[in-house]
């Protein structure tokens, strides 16, 4: 059996087992995930991804391992910014914290399937039409600029087109307060939880349009691109609750993520003329991410009275 085939099997078994366990846990007693539990879960998912990355290096070679960790780091760092949007979505729909893990679990499951299609389509398109890599690079650079100019609160979850379509197909019971996605009255009604899940899924699809080209700049091997994406995505639930509890400490994170996107976009656009070593890219991404977090912790915001 080829090494790549064996790694696909190991990945499928590992990911399926973890997903089943996570769904069973989320289907049990609804509870709010605190900072300590979120930190432990984040550490667990990062450890699982790290072990898998090392195994990838052992089975497929050092270069593939570096590509995996670089792609994973980029996807995970981009996910941090996405989580702040999710915080706003949950606030908009007034979803109790004890039901948020359930929505995130099913949202992540949907994201895994969506990204499977997008990644293999993206790899196929680039392999067939190589010039698309320059288009993707340009998109990432524009996204980085847009992220730097973006103002907090610009997004309105209520204007989501699929949410409007849902309201036409099925009534939404805004008064439903349980943990179900649907409730039966005279007819079936969607609940605010399902509306939230729908907005989260469509928002992640928009995020994927940015993040997948970024990872394709690191590797065009479907195994590396998809597994790094999945391991980053499955850790989003714990990452969300961790960031929600310490979000004031990461004021410069968005700037760092924008710089990472800009770097990756430039890397893509010059790829036909100059190849940047994957190890250098890993160092650049980790360095920018670490610097943005250190600046966020070191530079405290001035009190409102001082600003006035």
Per-residue confidence (pLDDT) for residue 304, from 0 to 100: 47
CA distance 185 to 215: 46
Rounded distance, CA 26 to CA 30, Å? 7
User: How many Å apart are CA 264 and CA 262, to the nearest integer?
Assistant: 6
pLDDT in tens, 228-241: 888 887 777 777 77
Question: In a structure prediction context, what are the per-residue pLDDT tens digits for the chain, which is 308 residues long?
Answer: 588 889 999 999 988 887 777 666 655 555 566 677 778 888 888 899 999 999 999 999 898 999 999 888 888 877 766 666 777 777 777 777 777 777 877 877 777 787 777 777 776 776 676 676 777 777 778 777 877 776 555 555 566 666 777 777 777 777 666 667 887 777 788 887 888 888 888 777 767 766 777 777 788 788 888 898 888 877 777 777 776 666 556 667 777 778 877 887 788 788 777 777 777 877 887 888 788 878 877 776 555 445 44
Residues contacting 123, CB < 8 A, separation 6+: 216, 220, 222, 225
- What is each CA distance from 287 to 32, 73, 253, 260, 284, in whole angstroms? 33, 11, 12, 10, 5
What is 79-145 written as a DSSP string?
HHHHHHHHHHHHHHTT--GGGHHHHHHHHHHHHHHHHHHHHHHHHHHHHH-TTHHHHHHHHHHHHHH
Run of H or E including 229? helix 222-233
Query: CA-CA distance, 197 to 207, in Å (whole number)?
Result: 15
Q: For the chain, state the CA radius of gyration.
A: 20
- The predicted pLDDT at position 23 comes to 64
Q: Two tokens at 289?
A: 């991410």
What's the pTM value of the predicted model, to 2 decimals?
0.71
Tell which residue, 75, 106, 81, 108, has the closest CA to residue 217: 75
| Angle CA 150–205–21, to nearest 5 | 120
């Amino acid at each position: 059996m080829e090494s790549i085939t064996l790694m696909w099997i190991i990945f499928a078994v590992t990911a399926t087992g973890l997903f089943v366990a996570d769904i069973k846990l989320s289907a049990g007693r609804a509870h709010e995930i605190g900072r300590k539990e979120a930190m432990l879960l984040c550490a667990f998912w990062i450890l699982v991804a790290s072990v898998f990355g090392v195994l990838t290096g052992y089975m497929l070679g050092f270069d593939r391992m570096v590509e995996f960790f670089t792609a994973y780091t980029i996807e995970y760092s981009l996910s941090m910014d996405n989580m702040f949007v999710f915080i706003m979505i949950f606030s908009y729909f007034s979803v109790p914290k004890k039901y948020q893990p359930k929505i995130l679990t099913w949202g992540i499951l949907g994201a895994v399937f969506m990204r499977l299609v997008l990644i293999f389509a993206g790899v196929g398109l680039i392999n067939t039409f190589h010039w698309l890599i320059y288009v993707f690079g340009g998109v990432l650079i524009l996204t980085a600029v847009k992220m730097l100019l973006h103002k907090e609160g610009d997004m309105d979850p209520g204007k989501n087109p699929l949410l409007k379509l849902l309201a036409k197909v099925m009534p939404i019971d805004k008064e439903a307060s349980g943990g179900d996605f649907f409730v039966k009255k005279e007819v079936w009604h969607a609940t605010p939880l399902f509306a939230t899940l729908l907005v989260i899924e469509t928002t992640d699809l928009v995020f994927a349009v940015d993040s997948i080209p970024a990872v394709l700049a690191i590797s065009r091997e479907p195994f590396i691109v998809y597994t790094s994406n999945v391991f980053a995505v499955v850790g989003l639930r714990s990452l969300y609750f961790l960031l929600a509890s310490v979000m004031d400490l990461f004021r410069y994170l968005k700037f760092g993520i924008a710089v990472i996107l800009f770097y990756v976009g430039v890397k893509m656009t010059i790829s036909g003329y100059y190849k940047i070593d994957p190890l250098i890219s890993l160092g650049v991404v980790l360095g920018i991410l670490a610097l943005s977090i250190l600046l966020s912790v070191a530079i405290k915001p001035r009190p409102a009275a001082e600003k006035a």
